[in-house]
Structure 1
Amino acid sequence: MAIYVYGATAQAKMTIDLMEQLGLSIAGCIDKSLLLDTVLGYPVALNHQIAQTNHYFLAIRNAGLRKRTFEDLAVDNYVTLTHPTAYISAHAEIEAGTVIFAKAVVMPDVQIGQQVLIDAGAVSHSNSIIEDFVNIGANVSIGSNVLVGEGVEIGANSVIDNEVTIPAFCIIPPHTHITD
C-alpha cells in the first residue's frame, strides 16, 4: 500500500522521514500550492485526484488548517504513524491519522482522537483524553485525568498538571505550566 502525504512543508519532511524509517511506501506528496517539485525526493502533485482507495496522511502542522483539509477531502483511508522508539500502552486508544514521534510516551487509558500530532519526547499520563486535531509539542508533559479539547496547540516544553481541562482551539505557548 502506497501512502500519499498531504502537505509539502516541514511537517511533510518529518512525516516522510518517519515513514521511511517504518519501511512504508510513499506514493508522493499533495499540496495546494506548487512551490516545490519534490519533497525529500518524492514528487509533489498540485491537482491530485483524491480516491477512496488510496491511503493518506495529513502532514499539516496548523491544527485548524488540518481540520479544514480533513473535512474538505472527505476520505476514510488515513494511516496512523508511530515512531519505533515511542512507547504506546496496549491500553491506550489512538484514532486514525495520528502521528507519534520519537520517544513519546502514551500511558494506559489515554484516548487520542483523530489527526493528532505528538512530537518527540511528549508524555501523556493515564486517564487523559486528547481530542481531534490537537498538536502536542516536543517534551510536553500532560498529567493524569486531563482533557485536551479539539484543535488545541500545546507549545514545546510545556507542563499540564493533573485534573486540568483545556478548552478547544486554545494555543498554549512553549514553556507554559498550567495548573488547575
Structure 2
Amino acid sequence: MYLYGASGHCKVIIDSIESSTDKIIKGVFDDNIEIDKILNVPIYNFETFDKTKIHEMFISVGNNATRKMISESISENYISVFHPKATISKYAFIDEGSCVMANAVINASAKIGKHCIVNTGAIVEHDCELGDFVHISPNASLAGNVKIGEGTHIGIGAQIIQGITIGKWVTIGAGTVVIRDIPDGSLYVGNPARQIKK
C-alpha cells in the first residue's frame, strides 16, 4: 500500500498501520523533493510514479481541505486505518479513507464520513455524525447525537455538548466549549464558544 503526504500526521499513520496490520507500506507520495524517506519508508513523486503498482492508498495529510482536494483529484482504492488501541463499537460506521488513532473512542451508532481523522484520545459518543473530511483533534469530546458538517476541524481538548449541530468548514478552537448550534464557515473559541471570525 501507499500513503500520500509525508507530514507529521503521516508518521502517526505509519505507526498505526505497522502496529495493527501486516500490510507493507511500499512508499509515500509527496511534492517535497528535499526528503527521500520518512520513518524508513521511501518517498516518491506521484506524477512520475507507475500508477499500476498502487492497489491501496491512504491520504496521510492533516489539513482537511488538502485531503479533499487529493481525494477528488486521485481516484484510488482508499482504505481506513485504525490504531490497535482505539476503541470502536461494532455498531459504528466508518467510511473509506478515515483513521482512528490510539485511545480514541467511537461509540454505538456513530457515523464517520470519508477521509476523517479521529485523533489521539478523542471521544465520539453514540449517534454522532461526522461529515466527510472532518478532523476531531486529540482529547476533544463529542457528547451523544452531535452532528459535524463537512471539513470542520474540532480543536484539541474542545468539548461539544449533546445534540449540537456544527456546520461545514467550521474551526472550533482548542479548549472551546460548544453549547449552541454553530453555522457554516466560522471560527469559534472560548467557554462558552463565541464567534471571532467569519
Match of 1:92 in 2: 92
Does the aligned pair in 1 maintain the 2:135–2:154 contact within 8 Å? yes
1:107-146 correspondence runs (5 A): 107-146=107-146
SS at structure 2 position matched to 1:26: coil
Moved over 4 A (4+): none
Match of 1:71 in 2: 72
Deviation at 1:52, TM superposition (A): 8.6
Q: Percent of aligned pairs with the same residue?
A: 31
Deviation at 1:74, TM superposition (A): 1.9
Match of 1:8 in 2: 6
Opposite residue 31 of structure 1, the aligned amino acid is D
Whether 1:57 and 2:58 are equivalent positions in the alignment is yes
CA distance in 1, matches of 2:44, 2:162: 44
Return the TM-score normalized by structure 2: 0.86
1:147-166 correspondence runs (5 A): 147-166=147-166
1:18-33 correspondence runs (5 A): 18-22=16-20, 23-33=22-32
Match of 1:44 in 2: 43
Deviation at 1:53, TM superposition (A): 5.4
SS at structure 1 position matched to 2:26: strand
Opposite residue 26 of structure 1, the aligned amino acid is I
SS at structure 1 position matched to 2:69: helix
Which consecutive residues of structure 2, in runs of 5 or more, have no partner in the other structure? 181-198
CA distance in 1, matches of 2:52, 2:116: 22
Return the TM-score normalized by structure 1: 0.94
Match of 1:175 in 2: 175
Deviation at 1:61, TM superposition (A): 0.5
Opposite residue 86 of structure 2, the aligned amino acid is A
Does the aligned pair in 2 maintain the 1:5–1:29 contact within 8 Å? yes
Does the aligned pair in 2 maintain the 1:122–1:137 contact within 8 Å? yes
CA-based RMSD: 1.3
SS at structure 1 position matched to 2:28: strand
CA distance in 1, matches of 2:32, 2:55: 21
Does the aligned pair in 2 maintain the 1:136–1:155 contact within 8 Å? yes
Deviation at 1:15, TM superposition (A): 0.7
Deviation at 1:50, TM superposition (A): 3.4
Does the aligned pair in 1 maintain the 2:122–2:140 contact within 8 Å? yes
Match of 1:17 in 2: 15
1:100-111 correspondence runs (5 A): 100-111=100-111
CA distance in 1, matches of 2:131, 2:53: 25
Which consecutive residues of structure 1, in runs of 5 or more, have no partner in the other structure? none
Deviation at 1:13, TM superposition (A): 0.9
Match of 1:82 in 2: 82
SS at structure 2 position matched to 1:5: strand
Opposite residue 178 of structure 1, the aligned amino acid is V
CA distance in 2, matches of 1:125, 1:36: 39
Does the aligned pair in 1 maintain the 2:17–2:82 contact within 8 Å? no
Opposite residue 58 of structure 2, the aligned amino acid is F
1:167/1:39 Cα in 2 relative to 1: closer, same or farther (>3 Å)? same
